[in-house]
Amino acid sequence: MDAYNRTVGTIESRVLVTARRFKELGVSAAETIPETTTVERTPRPLQAPEMADLFGNPDDEEEAR
């Protein structure tokens, strides 16, 4: 979840800020870019013990809340 949150922060603070400048610079697409839909799925959890031990068990984190 931390990596996801960092990625969203980067998109909001860097990518979108830069993308907004395109309009100021007069750059535009030939066609309107369609809006995307929200992903309503959760990622598959790691099952192999070797991998799960590397990243912790997300169920343990939820129980601690």
Q: Give, for all 65 residues of the chain, the pLDDT tens digit.
A: 888 888 988 888 888 888 888 878 888 777 777 888 888 888 887 778 877 677 665 555 555 55
Instruction: Give a yes or no: residue 3 inside a domain.
Output: yes
Instruction: Give a yes or no: residue 55 inside a domain.
Output: no
Give the per-residue pLDDT at 44.
80
Instruction: Give a yes or no: residue 24 inside a domain.
Output: yes
The count of C-alpha atoms lying within 13 angstroms of the C-alpha of 32, restricted to the half-sphere facing its C-beta, is 3
CB neighbour list of residue 1: distance below 8 Å, 6 or more residues apart: none
pTM: 0.36
- Rounded CA gap, 32 and 6, in Å? 28
CB atoms within 10 A of CB 43: 8
Domain of residue 14, residue span: 1-28
Instruction: Give a yes or no: residue 21 inside a domain.
Output: yes
Give the per-residue pLDDT at 19.
84
The tokens describing 17, both together, are: 């800020």
The tally of domains found in the chain comes to: 1
